[in-house]
Amino acid sequence: MESRANHNQVSHCPNKCLSCVQWLPLFKKKKQNSIEKFQNHDIIVYVLGGPGCGKGTQCSKIVEDFGFIHLSAGELLETEVKTGSETGKMIQEFKKEGKLVPSEVVVKLLKQAMQRSGNRKFLIDGFPRNEENRLTAEKMLGIQPTIVLVFDCSEEEMIRRVMQRNQGRVDDNMDTIRKRLKVYKESTLPVIDYYAKKGKARKINAERPVEEVFRSVEAVFSELGLVKRGKTIV
Ligand SMILES: Nc1ncnc2c1ncn2[C@@H]1O[C@H](COP(=O)(O)OP(=O)(O)O)[C@@H](O)[C@H]1O
Ligand SMILES: Nc1ccn([C@@H]2O[C@H](COP(=O)(O)OP(=O)(O)O)[C@@H](O)[C@H]2O)c(=O)n1
């Protein structure tokens, strides 16, 4: 007799055995609440830019106005740190050094969050930050971004903003910011170039006040055929 575990992998057991009949409602419930596969019509917006350029600030406004789910790679990693798990301890060491965490760890956390959300419009902030991130997402999630928002800001202004943010982050100090800026230039700019060549990158001047930056963001979303909530969502 086949094991319950095997039958539990399929939605309809041809043998209609007792174990499957018992497990089927659970299986169906799981399917309703989670996304098994990402599809071509899912809208995936990657959000890139140096540390403190205002990615999180703009993402909150996008969520409010356009109904996306916001998944910040940095925040997902921080949540794992707070669990105190072995993986969390390892992540904390990378963050302190301003280094990028191995891609499989980040992509696994992203995948779980995407599946749990049940949403089909994803704003993925702070990802992919290097070529390894990008390739691992393609391999493990099978996703390609619809568009990539790139917030462009001078180093001076980013440093000023990070130092003012002052929320007790282990990486918001002068020494680590310099390392994060170096990682951004060496590892993330090539990813942005890759998407620019594919015609997917939309560069936005993030040096301006929040509302002005957001007007440029809105212009990109209207290009995608999306209009603000409260009006008609196309
Ligand atoms: N356009 C802006 N002008 C001035 N300050 C900003 C602007 N956008 C964000 N900030 C501030 O800069 C800091 C970093 O912004 P945040 O959204 O956390 O950046 P990131 O997610 O890119 O690290 C925050 O304190 C935020 O309030
Ligand atoms: N794709 C990612 C995103 C963040 N991170 C880690 O998380 C840190 C903080 O990222 P973040 O996106 O919250 O913050 P900013 O550097 O953009 O302000 C990075 O410096 C990396 O150590 C990573 O390793 N891989």
Residues 162-198 have pLDDT tens digits of: 999 977 889 999 999 999 999 999 999 999 999 999 9
Pocket test for ligand 1, best of 57, 63, 71, 205 (most atoms within 8 A of CB): 57
Higher-confidence residue of 29 and 230: namely 230
Residues with CB under 6 A from ligand 2: 51-52, 55, 73-74, 77, 94-95, 98-101, 106, 126-127, 129, 133, 171, 180
Question: Which residues lie closer than 8 Å to 54 by C-beta, 6 or more apart?
Answer: 151, 153, 161, 206, 210, 213
Q: pTM (2 decimals)?
A: 0.85
The answer to whether residue 33 scores a pLDDT higher than 80 is no
Residue 129's pLDDT band (cuts 50, 70, 90): very high
Confirm or reject: Cβ of 52 under 6 Å from ligand 1: yes
The answer to whether residue 140 scores a pLDDT higher than 70 is yes
pLDDT at 120: 87
Report which ligand 2 atom has the smallest distance to the Cα of 162: 18
Higher-confidence residue of 20 and 73: namely 73
The answer to whether residue 131 scores a pLDDT higher than 80 is yes
Pocket test for ligand 2, best of 77, 149, 162, 173 (most atoms within 8 A of CB): 77
Report which ligand 1 atom has the smallest distance to the Cα of 50: 22
pLDDT at 95: 96
Confirm or reject: Cβ of 210 under 6 Å from ligand 1: yes
This model of the complex carries an ipTM of 0.97
- Ligand 2 centre distance from Cα of residue 165 (Å): 15
Q: 130-133 contacts: CB < 8 A, separation 24 or more?
A: 130/100, 130/103, 130/187, 130/188, 130/190, 130/191, 131/187, 131/190, 131/191, 131/194, 132/100, 132/103, 133/100, 133/103, 133/106, 133/107, 133/191
